[in-house]
Amino acid sequence: MLIDAHCHVPHAGYKKDVDSIIEDASSVGVSKLIVIGTSISENEKVIKFVVEPKHANIFCSIGIYPHEDMDKSVEELREALESALALSEKIVAIGECGIDVSNWQGGRSIEDQIKIFEMQIQVALDHDLPIIIHNRNGDAQVMALFNKYHGSKLRGVAHSFSQSWEVAQQYLDLGFYISFSGMITYPARKPLLETVAKVPLDRFLVETDSPYLPPQGHRGEPNYPEYVKIVAEKVAQVKEKPFDEIADWSYKNTCTVFNKLS
């Protein structure tokens, strides 16, 4: 069995209806999904989605992406997260949250991103939940915050990991898990395979980040949770392990870090 540890269902970027997406994932052995909140409105949407009786094996996270809800103060965002957490026991994490440094204009400053990220770390600690980290060119800021909370019960996942093995080691040393997406199948991301090879079997997850980051062979198309099998197959190839063993480890690891899944 497999779990897609990070996907954005429901989402306008898909070309299939939601029921078909779930059925297609199930047909290739994906038994659970974790759907990700990124803003106040998206958090409401994913909670409403996972509490439907027919979605018993779908769970969610709630969080504020670095450049979402720009009109809200840190305190307003915290109040929104606290209110949302009271709505369902199927919320298994805070995030995705973190640091996003890019050429995109109009986003939050690094200083404001750090404040919102730290607020979400505090919410996660207060509720004994893991965090799901978005990190684009923010290694220094992320690690500075983690070191500030060293010795706490802070735990979580480095989502769609794309950095070096040296950075992966820092996450692992802090007790975090490394989550691999379809990026590990891209020829241009070949250096990332060092991390795939070296990360311990009990510390990795697989995800799609769908509808984003489709694996090689599906570039230019929407990504789907069923393609998490392709990610797991690539991990098995790089680690030179049987697919079933990799699938079992990824399933067990996901249930360990998101311990409300069962």
pLDDT along the chain (262 residues), means of 10: 96 88 97 97 97 97 97 97 97 97 85 97 97 95 92 94 96 96 97 97 98 96 97 98 98 95 74
Domain 2-257 = CATH 3.20.20.140: yes
Looking at residue 105, what is its pLDDT? 75
Give one word for 164, left, alpha or beta, with left for phi > 0 and alpha for psi -120 to 50: beta
pLDDT for residue 261: 81
Alpha carbons within 13 A on the beta-carbon side of 192: 18
Domain borders along the chain are 2-257
Q: What is the pTM of this model?
A: 0.96
| Predicted pLDDT of residue 249 | 98
User: Which residues, at least 6 apart from 230, have a Cβ–Cβ distance to it below 8 Å?
Assistant: 182, 185, 215, 217
Q: What is the pLDDT of residue 103?
A: 78
Strands 2-7 and 91-100, by their bridges, are unpaired
Name the 3-class secondary structure at 196. Answer: helix
User: What tokens appear for 92 in the block?
Assistant: 């298994």
SS (H, E, C) 27-81: HCCEEEEEEECCCHHHHHHHHHHHCCHHHCCEEEEECCCCCCCCCCCHHHHHHHH
